[in-house]
């Protein structure tokens, strides 16, 4: 569903005029987007509201890894692939997820439920290897645990 532009606009009015408000506006827009991303229309909207060139907003959005410019699945799976997770088997976790979901890192499942992203350190290395699904972190993972974990999200989507 495409929301009316004036509704999107109202979501960010509060940040206009705030020092450094642009990032906050982008966070707000993305968190309320159904497909978890910032569309070209969103980016144009922010540029006009903040009175800056579209290129500047585009440059800012693509700089930060928490922002996306293409539609993503309902749930974002982020797999840490840095050294502390790597030494305890993160590459097996990523490979198992790719196999299970039948997508490569960066891709979205055909049912639109999951997007798989390889990411930098999530800061929970005490329980490596770790992944994050949306804002929930899962740690001390083995590849055997993954199917059951994903099944929970699938069930929830069907409910």
Partner 1 sequence: MKYYRAHVLICSGSNCAIKGCQTIKDALVAVLNKHELQSEIKVVDTGCLGWCEQGPSMVIYPEGVMYSRLKNSDMDEIVTEHLLKGRFVHRLMTQSTDTLGLASPLNMTPFFQKQRRVVLKNCGLINPERLEDYIHAGGYTALATALDKYAPEEIIAMVLDAGLRGRGGAGFLTGKKWSYTKAALGEPKYLICNADEGEPGTFKDRLILEGDPHLIVEGMAIAAYAIGASKGIIYVRGEYDLSIKRMEQAVLQARENGILGEGVLGSGFNFDIEVCAGAGAYVCGEETALIESIEGNRGEPRFKPPYPAEKGLWGLPTCVNNVETLANIPAIIENSPTWYRSLGTENSPGTKVFTLTGNITNSGLIEVPMGITLREIIYDIGGGIPQGRRFKMAQTGGTSGGCLAEEHLDLPMDYDSLASHGSSLGSGALLIMDDSHCILDLTHCFLKFFVHESCGKCTPCREGTPALYKLIGKMTAGQGNQDDLELIHRLARTMQDSSLCALGQTAPVPVLSAFRHFWPEVEAHMTGNCLAHKCFSGRGSKHDH
| Interacting residue ranges for partner 1, rule: CB under 8 A | 19-24, 26-27, 59-60, 63-67, 81-84, 86-88, 120-128, 130, 132, 135, 137-140
Query: In whole angstroms, how close is the CB of 111 to partner 1 at the nearest point?
Result: 26
Query: In whole angstroms, how close is the CB of 83 to partner 1 at the nearest point?
Result: 5
Query: In whole angstroms, how close is the CB of 125 to partner 1 at the nearest point?
Result: 4
Query: In whole angstroms, how close is the CB of 50 to partner 1 at the nearest point?
Result: 8
- C-beta closer to partner 1: residue 4 or 94: 94
Three-state helix/strand/coil letters over the chain: CCCCHHHHHHHHHHHCCCCCHHHHHHHHHHHCCCCCCCCHHHHHHHHHHHCCCHHHHHHHHHHCCCCCCCCCCCEEEEEECCHHHHCCCHHHHHHHHHHHHCCCCCCECCCCCEEEEEECCCCCHHHCCCEEECCEEECCCCHHHHHHHHHHHHHHHHC
- C-beta closer to partner 1: residue 21 or 112: 21
- C-beta closer to partner 1: residue 104 or 110: 104
């Amino acid at each position: 569903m495409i929301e009316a532009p004036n509704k999107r606009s109202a979501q960010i009015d509060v940040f206009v005029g705030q020092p450094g408000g642009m990032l906050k506006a982008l966070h707000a827009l993305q968190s309320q987007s159904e497909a978890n991303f910032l569309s070209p229309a969103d980016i144009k909207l922010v540029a006009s509201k903040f009175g800056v060139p579209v290129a500047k907003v585009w440059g800012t959005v693509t700089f930060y890894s928490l922002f996306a410019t293409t539609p993503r699945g309902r749930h974002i799976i982020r797999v840490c692939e840095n050294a502390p997770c790597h030494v305890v088997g993160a590459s097996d976790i990523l490979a198992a997820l790719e196999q299970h979901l039948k997508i490569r890192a960066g891709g979205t499942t055909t049912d639109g439920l999951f997007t798989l992203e390889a990411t930098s350190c999530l800061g929970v290395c005490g329980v490596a290897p770790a992944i994050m699904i949306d804002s929930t972190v899962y740690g001390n993972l083995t590849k055997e645990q993954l199917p059951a974990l994903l099944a929970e999200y699938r069930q929830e989507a069907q409910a």
